[in-house]
Structure 1
Amino acid sequence: MVSSTEQLLWTMLMQNLAESLGVWSSEGVRGVWIKIFLKDADLVGEVAKHGFKFHHAQENYVMMTRWLPQTEPNMLPSFANHYIGVGGLVINSKNQILVIQELYSTSPRRWKLPGGAVDKGEFLSKAVVREVREETGIDSEFQSVHCFRHLPNFRYKQSDFYFVCLLKPLTETIKTLSC
């Protein structure tokens, strides 16, 4: 339930937004971004009435944008649209390649390189070493990116980049993991 004081504040806020949009437009501002935090989610509908559209959402906020020039195409950058994964190509001194099978899989258990998703802010080189250690117990050292592949319409129609990285094993004892 919204109190009359809150309703008055929202009305004033939306009037201020409408006036600001007029001023910004006359001053040549082209793009406007509004970040609405979860606690203020009730404002989303009101902001949308002023021509704002969803840009992206995170756990605690939604970002909305409005392109002001009506005679130009919207040039605001889109939100990040990709996933990044890594696989470790580990070749030991006997020219054996380290591979694993998924413990839980919807398809027949196929052999694959150990690897997984790169965490936000993580370097490829660190991610692949971490993933190989987590999945096999093998410590390794990043050497190079060997190759990559790109799937343009992966999960939620986002791009998926998968990098195969050449690693030098620092240990050769595989630890069987049953997570």
Structure 2
Amino acid sequence: MCTQEGVECTATVFFKVISLKFARLILKKIYTFSIIGGQRKISHSVGRKLCSFISSSSSCISKVCSGLRHKSRSASQTKSVKNMAMNMENSSKDLVNEVDHVDMLDASFDAYEGVIINIKNDMDENVFTALLQTSISQWRQQGKKGVWLKLSLEHVNLVKPAVKEGFWYHHAEPTYAMLVYWIPETNHTLPPNASHRVGVASFVVNNNGEVLVVQEKSGAFKGTGVWKLPTGTVEEGEDISAAAIREVKEEAGIDTEFMEVLAFRQSHKSFFSKSDLMFVCMLKPTSLDIEKQDSEIEAAQWMPVEEYANQAFVKKHKSFDYIAKICIAKKDNKYVGFSPLLTTTASSAKKSYLYSNYQLEQ
């Protein structure tokens, strides 16, 4: 038979466990309502108080159970009460672990205390908002700073709720939009989006001292009669040298070998408020028969370099005039440009080129 003290202790444990179950039920109802309704944030103070209550109750249960084990006198009573105490203690620990678990968005961390959110599956806007709020709260406690949210076209429904929570656009590509958020209450130090567009102008000169020139069907030079160097934009992941070779092939059908970067020009506010870098490159032709691109090129031909340089338009505009003079100096072997030196990046060992007029020792 149990002693009166044992019965009182058992009753204490019983009511503590009932209180724990009730507290867990309240916490679950609040969290479920927040996720489904989407109109209230989870009260962190309420959550903390409930968790604190559960934790303290668990501690109390452990103490009572310990007392039961020490104060029970009969062997059969000790075994019975001990088993009951262990079961109740384990149950209380399970409750604490269940409440301590917080659902958050799937994310990874970078080397700069940043967070990269990974949205893989379709998600309801209200569920996303609740998880985002909880996640940011946790990341703030962890000392995280910038948050990167990449949303594909399939997840465009999450842009509006993200913006409402303080995110702003960083950049966009054809298949996604990148939004960012700064957690600390300081000015953000997130790196800006790419600020420049990169282009190439190709100076292709044959053995007769003639330069390859084209007239364009559209753009600023349409209908002007101006002969210009083949030009174009460097594509993502493309080397300057490869872009110059490609543009010449596309516009005039001429195969070439890259030789040097002769010069480059920087300008601003030229393309959707972006800055522009134009690299003037020298190429050696390995074929001579022109096959112009009908969709963009009105005409293409080989022209004496001096004739190209003496065009009224070229002489009127300083940048074109400087480029023409540099090209003539190079043709006459009075100018040294930058040749590509194959190397690798320090961080990832990827192939890259260093352009320099440094002469490697043979």
Bucket of the pairwise TM-score, normalised by the shorter protein? 0.7 to 0.9
Instruction: Provide the C-alpha distance between the structure 2 equivalents of 1:92 and 1:164, rounded to a whole number of angstroms.
Output: 17
Query: Cα gap change, 1:6/1:89 in structure 2, threshold over 3 Å: closer, same or farther?
Result: farther
1:101-116 map, 5 Å = 101-107=215-221, 108-116=224-232
**Match of 1:10?**
125
Q: TM-score, normalised by structure 2?
A: 0.45
- State the Cα distance separating 1:115 from its structure 2 match: 2.2
Larger radius of gyration: 2
Name the CA shift for 1:6/1:161 in 2 (closer, same or farther; >3 Å): farther
Measured after TM superposition, the shift of residue 157 of structure 1 is 0.4
CA offsets 1:73-126 (integer angstroms, 9 cap, x no match): 211111222211111111111111211111334541311101211122111111
The Cα of 1:57 is off from its aligned counterpart by 1.8
1:2-151 alignment, distance < 5 Å: 9-71=124-186, 73-107=187-221, 108-151=224-267
* 1:174–1:20 Cα change, 3 Å: same
Offset, 1:60: 2.7
1:174 maps to 2:293: no
Residues 23-65 of structure 1 show CA distances to partners (whole Å, capped at 9, x for unaligned) of 1112110100111222222221111121111111222322111
Residue type matched to 1:138 in 2? I
Distance 1:49 1:117 in 2: 37
Q: Which residue of 2 aligns with 1:154?
A: 270
Q: List structure 1 segments (4+ residues) > 4 angstroms apart after TM superposition.
A: 5-9
Mapped partners of 1:176, 1:31: distance in 2: 49
* 2-structure distance, mates of 1:21, 1:55: 18
Distance 1:45 1:126, change over 3 A: same
Shift of 1:143: 0.4
1:124-164: per-residue Cα shift (whole Å, max 9, x none)? 11111111122122211000111111112111100111111
Seen in structure 2, the aligned counterparts of structure 1 residues 135 and 12 have a Cα distance that, compared at 3 Å, is closer
Amino acid at match of 1:101: Q
Structure having the higher helix fraction is 2
2:196 maps to amino acid: H
| In the alignment, structure 1 residue 164 sits paired with structure 2 residue 280 | yes
Instruction: Provide the C-alpha distance between the structure 1 equivalents of 2:267 and 2:205, rounded to a whole number of angstroms.
Output: 26
In 1, are the aligned partners of 2:125 and 2:157 still within 8 Å (CA)?
A: no
The alignment covers a number of residue pairs equal to: 174
Between the aligned residues of both structures, percent identity stands at: 38
Distance 2:155 2:180 in 1: 16
Q: Which has the higher strand share?
A: 1
Shift of 1:172: 2.4
Sort the Cα spacing of 1:68 and 1:105 in 2 relative to 1 into closer, same or farther, 3 A.
closer
Return 5+ residue gaps in structure 2 as ranges. Answer: 1-34, 39-123, 296-362
